[in-house]
A and B are shown apart, each in its own frame.
Chain A
Amino acid sequence: MSKVIEVKDLTKKYKELTAVDHLSFNLEEGEILGLLGPNGSGKSTTINCILSLLTMNEGEIKIFGKEMKPNAYDIKKDIGVIFQEVAVFEELTVYENIDYFCGLYINNKQERKEKVEKAIEFVGLSEFKKFYPKQLSGGLLRRLNIACGIAHEPKLIFLDEPTVAVDPQSRNNILEGIKALRDKGATILYTTHYMEEAEILCDRIIIMDKGKIIAQGTKNELKELAGIEEKVTLEVENLPQEKQEKLKKIPNIEEIKYEGNQLMISFQKGENNFTHLLEWLKQEKISYDGIYSEKPSLNDVFLQLTGKELRD
């Protein structure tokens, strides 16, 4: 696989604030790389620097092996960008909007027509071709936004939080669409602050905070960093303090939290953790209404690395 994007030591400052701090990473051909981090962590700034929209204080950026510059038209022709904010003309119909933006890349009218039709079908807007943006729901509008960025069939696609303020059904459609784009051969750089999206979608994830990379790898590699194997939650009424202290003595227990009727237990790596817990509950004659187990999330990784929730 070849490197589609190479970012070395990228630094961007806004006066005193360092928005991106010596960031280095590569994006390999055919992969979906997620930039995951809370709002203000520097994800969008990174994309805008890569796209040569923003000046950078330090660093080097290569796309398709060539230095990225504002007038690097040979690079730009193979790039598609979907910005966080919907960027369409209110006065143009769905078809016209896609045709307009596609026309910035493709001059041939017939070729463009085919690509526009394909894009419309791909995002599921065939029934809405003649609709104006204000006639579309939030989810459909997002889909139009995506179609405008991908109609020219770019090799490299930047998606900057494309699912913000989108209903769950539309979000699923969008995520499926992004996977389909990758399956068709596109390389994707995807920014989000939704850890679930990054988990579902991305082959590799870079977790950012305050402009720095705090961890990167596949989702499994990242979860290793959380230092816990699984989390078990039970609904228990009145668990006395002495029982809680006893519970902590079960092997591999990392931490327990008891809030309301919710007892949350984090286990370190180890064998038969769940069985040990069930046996202890039986032995102590503690009754519980529900019990469920979950693997650590990227939020746990973020919590482990920064001491704060990703959602904060």
Chain B
Amino acid sequence: MIHQFTYALKSLFRNKMLIFWTFAFPIIMAFFFNIAFSNIVEDEKLDVFPIAIVQNQEWNNDEIFQKSIETLGKENSEDRLFSLHYTANEQEAKKLLEDEEITGYLIVEKEEPKIVVKKSGIEETVFQNVIQEIEKQKNIVVDLITQKIEEQMKQGITTIDQEKIINEELQSVQEKGTYTAQKNENNHLDYTMIEYYTLIAMACLYGAILGMTAINNLLANMSTKGMRVSVAPVKRMKMIISSSLVALVAQLIGLVLLFAFTLLIIKVDYGEKIFPIILLAFVGALAGLSLGVFVGTVLKRKEDTKMGILIAVTMLGCFFSGMMGITMKYIIDTAVPIVNKINPASMITDGFYALYYYSGLERYWVNVISLIIFSIVLIALSTIALRRQKYDSI
């Protein structure tokens, strides 16, 4: 096994094409991102932006929502994100939007908050995300408040200060950072980070090329080298495991180089959660490898064709998860959410996003687990095909 491992590693590191796509290309992209974003970051510091709230009956009844939004709109607050305009009805809000005086407006209808924006952009995306997060956490806050009131009633307290409880629980949830977007060191939301996350996702998924090449060299129905290996007295699973291991090791080396370059040379700030970052990169690499093994096993095409397919799939996945601009992620998330639910690039990107912008790990774990499920499904499907030792045609 060591013999195969050594030669597979040697062969891989001498393959210029593989080295370019898996090691050099992400670093080159990072370099260009850095040049391109150094100006954008300055230009696009996310300042407070105006939104309107339609003050209908439902809004007035939704105290938790009100408090949350008001916190983010409080003047002189460090966490201020919105400049709030209140309108008596939707028509007024619409008028403000048409006149481009606001980024968008919020209206609560049938107990559901609805946001209306005129175009796609960073501010619109932030608006959308924040409202979604508040909505998600509202139920938690309601539960906590109910719990607290019940406790006080049990203790025989008859004069319950509901507003105080609401404020306390809201503050507690906000301190946990469950929905308020945290501001980074530069005191603004740096959305170029998304581009770097998609770059890591791309590097992880380019590992698919390594996995595909490793498998292609082992299967008789895929290559003549595979035929030669198949007639040798070696157990196929042993060969597959050692080759996949080589691909994974190479991929992790590539990721270490990319992290080293982005951290040390172009000074990208990934935050301080080192272990979750490593875990996410590892799981992402595993997902990339599984994708490569799957394509290598199932798709009966020339190696170059498969490589082209993997590069195209990876680039498309990264595009959908925001590599060429966060707006695309927003569009896909809202128009066809299923795409990014099964898109490994989006899972990796969103995992890093969750780590960087949220202090809680719930969203991060959802992505990690999704990537693990994605990998398990592809490996299971590949194993079914790999169990075949004879072929109908070669």
Give residues in A with beta carbon < 8 Å to B: 14, 48, 51-55, 70-71, 73-74, 76-77, 79, 81, 83, 85-92, 96, 99-101, 103-105, 107, 148-149
Report chain A residues within 8 Å CB of B4.
100, 103-104
The answer to whether B390 and A89 have CB atoms under 8 Å apart is no
| Of the residues A53, A77, A148, contact of B391 by C-beta under 8 Å | A53
* Cα A85 to Cα B228 with chains together (Å): 11
Report chain A residues within 8 Å CB of B392.
14, 54-55
Q: Which chain B residue shows the least CB distance to A132?
A: B14
The answer to whether B227 and A77 have CB atoms under 8 Å apart is no
| Of the residues A52, A91, A105, contact of B389 by C-beta under 8 Å | A52
The answer to whether B7 and A83 have CB atoms under 8 Å apart is no
Q: Which chain B residue shows the least CB distance to A101?
A: B228
- Binary contact readout B13-24 vs A (1 if CB under 8 angstroms, 0 otherwise): 011000000000
Q: Chain B interface: which size bin?
A: 20 to 34
* Cα A73 to Cα B233 with chains together (Å): 5
The answer to whether the Cβ of B10 comes within 8 Å of any Cβ in the partner chain is yes
* Cα A148 to Cα B230 with chains together (Å): 14
The answer to whether A53 and B220 have CB atoms under 8 Å apart is yes
- Binary contact readout B200-230 vs A (1 if CB under 8 angstroms, 0 otherwise): 0000000000000000010010011101111
* Cα A146 to Cα B355 with chains together (Å): 55
| Of the residues A53, A96, A99, contact of B231 by C-beta under 8 Å | A53
The answer to whether A89 and B225 have CB atoms under 8 Å apart is yes
Q: List 19 A-B contacts (CB under 8 A).
A: A53-B231, A54-B392, A55-B391, A70-B390, A76-B232, A76-B233, A77-B233, A85-B224, A86-B224, A87-B225, A89-B7, A90-B15, A91-B10, A92-B7, A100-B3, A101-B228, A103-B4, A104-B229, A149-B228
The answer to whether A96 and B390 have CB atoms under 8 Å apart is no
Give residues in B with beta carbon < 8 Å to A: 3-4, 7, 10-12, 14-15, 217, 220, 223-225, 227-235, 389-394
Report chain B residues within 8 Å CB of A92.
7, 10-11, 14
Q: Which chain B residue shows the least CB distance to A48?
A: B394
Known: A53-B230, A55-B390. 6 other contacts (CB 8 A): A83-B227, A86-B224, A96-B10, A101-B232, A105-B232, A105-B233
The answer to whether A53 and B227 have CB atoms under 8 Å apart is yes
The answer to whether B233 and A104 have CB atoms under 8 Å apart is yes
Q: Which 3 A-B pairs have the closest CB atoms?
A: A70-B389, A87-B224, A104-B232
* Cα A152 to Cα B227 with chains together (Å): 17
The answer to whether A53 and B394 have CB atoms under 8 Å apart is yes
The answer to whether A71 and B228 have CB atoms under 8 Å apart is no
Report chain B residues within 8 Å CB of A89.
7, 11, 217, 225
**B224 shortest CB reach to chain A, Å:** 4
The answer to whether A88 and B225 have CB atoms under 8 Å apart is yes
Report chain A residues within 8 Å CB of B229.
104
The answer to whether B14 and A91 have CB atoms under 8 Å apart is yes
**B13 shortest CB reach to chain A, Å:** 8
* Cα A100 to Cα B392 with chains together (Å): 28
Report chain A residues within 8 Å CB of B390.
52-55, 70
The answer to whether A87 and B389 have CB atoms under 8 Å apart is no
The answer to whether B389 and A148 have CB atoms under 8 Å apart is no
Q: Which chain A residue shows the least CB distance to B221?
A: A53
* Cα A210 to Cα B391 with chains together (Å): 21
| Of the residues B7, B15, B228, contact of A96 by C-beta under 8 Å | B7
**B55 shortest CB reach to chain A, Å:** 69
* Cα A86 to Cα B233 with chains together (Å): 20
Report chain A residues within 8 Å CB of B235.
71, 73
* Cα A53 to Cα B227 with chains together (Å): 8
The answer to whether B10 and A104 have CB atoms under 8 Å apart is no
Q: Which chain A residue shows the least CB distance to B228?
A: A87
* Cα A54 to Cα B394 with chains together (Å): 7
Report chain B residues within 8 Å CB of A14.
392-393
Report chain B residues within 8 Å CB of A105.
232-233
Report chain B residues within 8 Å CB of A83.
224, 227-228
Report chain B residues within 8 Å CB of A48.
227, 394
Report chain A residues within 8 Å CB of B230.
53, 70
* Cα A271 to Cα B15 with chains together (Å): 67
* Cα A52 to Cα B217 with chains together (Å): 18
